[in-house]
Structure 1
Amino acid sequence: MEDPQSEYQRMMRRHHREKRELEERIYTMKNLVPKSDRKRRKQLLLDVARLQAELEQKHRQEVEKFRERYPDNSDLDSVTEDLAKIDLENKPPSLLRAQKRWERRAALERARRERIAEAERERRTSFGREEEKKLTAILRARNLEMKDIPADGHCMYRAIQDQLMFSTTVESLRSRTATYMQKHVDDFLPFFSNSEAGDACSREDFMRYCDDIVHTASWGGQLELRALSHILQTPIEVIQASSPAIVVGEEYTKKPLTLVYLRYACSFGEHYNSVKPLQAGPVGVRAPRLF
């Protein structure tokens, strides 16, 4: 049976061989993409960083498993150092320089992406403050204020739930919404499309979408609001910061349920809040509902 040190040495040699093979592959990939093609070069940097990260993770996991098998073997570190020196001495200078260039470019690309993400976060924060200021003024004029709803994918349904005079669950609202939409496919399908491409979707796509309403935390939008207004036979008003309020279900005569739509409040997307009376009344006394 092979002793742990020999087995570890064999694994380390394989690791070094796989690293060299990846470096040669990266060198070939680089030569296949013209320097003038910035789009492909940018993608190449990302591909290289991904390949290197995957190989490093694979090697790290193999070493960790080996050390778990032989926790008391103190000679393994010296084997790693010796093999690393041999590998470094035998590596062609051109590959060393190429590797350093790619590592430097990959680091620059990561830093650039981080700067873009940070700028986007700052932009959303600034827009969010302005949006909240406008909404506060709109609601104050109606003697209302926002009531925070958790941003968990169920926010639209939770906001509706908060407005209702009777007790119900988010699961019930989702189920009733999906059932109504499935029973009235022809009323909704013309307005249902691929949100990214804007392409019309098939009946099967729509039915899968309805299934997701029940079984996932998918966000609700105008289609679901329309269905809920019919289910509840109640108008639903959606207050926005930069556009007039939207009312769905205007054919019904009940007092509208009122939601607040926020585009920039959450770092991961759009959000719905509920509303409550501006004056909450004395401590311990629940304010009267407006709905």
Structure 2
Amino acid sequence: MDELLAKHRKEQKDLQGRITQKKKSATKKTRKGVNDECERMQRDLTEQQQAEITNLNGDSVEAIESLEDLSLEDGAPTNGESNEDKTTQPAQDEPSPSPESEQPTARGKKPNRQKARLARRAAEQAAQAEAAAEEAANQTNYRGNEQEVMDAVFKKLGLREVEVTPDGHCLYSAIAKQLDESGVGLRPDPSRIILQPTTQSRIDTVASPQHDGYRAVRAVTADFIVEHKEDFEAFMEEPLDVYTRKIKLTAEWGGQLELQAIARAYGVDINVVQKDGRLEKIECGEMDSFEEEEKRKRVLWLAYYRHSYGLGEHYNALFEQK
């Protein structure tokens, strides 16, 4: 029995954790469905555990109750009396019993301690699950709130969002999609940056800018930082060669330094919609040299998330509505 109860406690604890996670990730639209699902999960687990307890104890509990119901007055005769003497000889000087007194007196059942313990534990587990569910419901829904804010900004600015695979390449993939669609292209103007042969090879071997274009953007970013190390090196926490090698050859996440290098290498301005609705601008500083139409296509848009994706920080591409 102790083993079974220990198993039940672990199942309840695991369920509470799952319920908490589900309610954290729920949005306003899905909250009712999530709450209903959590209640069903709790109900199913409780019924399953009660059935397991019944299967384990059913016969033995009945036997205990039967033993407890036995009357001590049904025992063997004493003082040399036979059963017949006990049942047929009336006691002397005692009045004859009235019809009412002849009715047998029902003995109350003794409380079953094992059943009481199980019921108490089940009640405690149910209370813990309810407390966990209430705590989860009262927590701030960061994911839902973030998406609501972002959607409102997209609508106000007339932007549509294009999902990018949530991995370490998301920043570079989002940039590659926009460089390709805008016509700027993955190969930067030679007057802005001298590309290394390996970088030129990466650009030439891109099969699809929409899928592996990030390889070219990573290489261009690394080359630009190396070529202008005096502008970037002071902000690095590791040697320049180590830092740029990670950009070019690994899935290391990109951030502010990389955005600055991309803007300057490709001659584009990058607008980043933040999780709280703010707009951050990274400028290349050379827009005045372009015609109006060229200026417009050289403005790239990114959506920056903190809570909506399982891996953490994430960038999606944004395009003007057509």
TM-score scaled to structure 1, two decimals? 0.50
Larger-gyration structure (1/2): 2
TM-score scaled to structure 2, two decimals? 0.45
